[in-house]
Amino acid sequence: MKVNDTNDPGCRRKSMINLAGFLARSSANGPGIRSVVWVQGCPIHCEGCFNPQFLPFSLAHQVTPSELAEIICVQEGIDGVTFSGGEPFTQADALGELGEMLQHRGLSIVTFTGFSPEYVLGSTRPAWQRLLAITDLLIAGPYIPSLKCDTPWIGSSNQRIIPLTDAISLPAPCSPAPGHVTEFTIHADGTLTATGFPDGRFIKALAHRCRGV
Ligand code: SF4
């Protein structure tokens, strides 16, 4: 797969996180209860991407790693944080810095990437190494619609779940799989976030109803 693997889209300061979305608590984005950080921008452009609004390398919300760490560290009862996107490895330095702060607070890190595991784990880029160093569980590989599957936390069967430390317990291979989870969060301002692996037709129908069309 040929991809533009630029590590700096040039639209943000490297020390800042270009934040596309944040959810304080989720049980659909990795094992346990996790805060979720979605970054803006992905060069991979998989057909059928679940988050097409996060693909452009446009400016979203600029936050420093320490500002985001402060918000995450006051969340009660979370097991850790998930980095998703967009493509987290295009903001590897800033996410690595954030992950270092969170790990000091005892939180585990799940990092999603659309790059292949071989490509990411074989990289010698210092920023990528920094992000890998604080990642406990790597979920890697592009989404391929023809390989769509029902395995928890992945969208297609080519994607791989790779523990890089023993900080996160995974369900035993023989235990009943929970399958895909779709989670809805109603925020204080009345907006609704659908996350996990929502069915596209259902989301379209829901959006239609919410607009009263
Ligand atoms: S890697 Fe993820 S965010 Fe990027 S295009 Fe593929 S599914 Fe979408």
- pLDDT tens by residue, 114-134: 999 999 999 999 999 999 999
64 in a structural domain: yes
42 in a structural domain: yes
140 in a structural domain: yes
Q: Evaluate: CB of 102 within 6 angstroms of ligand 1.
A: no
What span, in angstroms and rounded, lies between the C-alpha atoms of 31 and 19? 22
User: What average pLDDT score do residues 189-207 get?
Assistant: 62
189 in a structural domain: no
In this prediction the pTM is 0.84
Confidence of residue 2 (pLDDT cuts 50, 70, 90): very low
Q: Evaluate: CB of 143 within 6 angstroms of ligand 1.
A: yes
Q: Which residues pair with 35 in a beta bridge?
A: 81
6 in a structural domain: no
2 in a structural domain: no
Lowest mean per-residue pLDDT among 42-46, 143-147, 193-197: 193-197
Q: Evaluate: CB of 41 within 6 angstroms of ligand 1.
A: no
Cα of 142 from ligand 1 centre, angstroms: 6
Number of domains in the chain: 1
Nearby residues of 210 by Cβ (< 8 Å), 6 or more positions away: 192
Q: 51 phi and psi, to 5 degrees?
A: -125, 60
**CATH classification at residue 111:** 3.20.20.70
Take atom 1 of ligand 1 and give the residue whose Cα is closest: 114
**Residue 99: pLDDT over 60:** yes
137 in a structural domain: yes
Report which secondary-structure segment, H or E, holds 80.
Answer: strand 80-84
23 in a structural domain: yes
Q: Evaluate: CB of 85 within 6 angstroms of ligand 1.
A: yes
| Residue range(s) defining the domain that contains residue 146 | 17-173
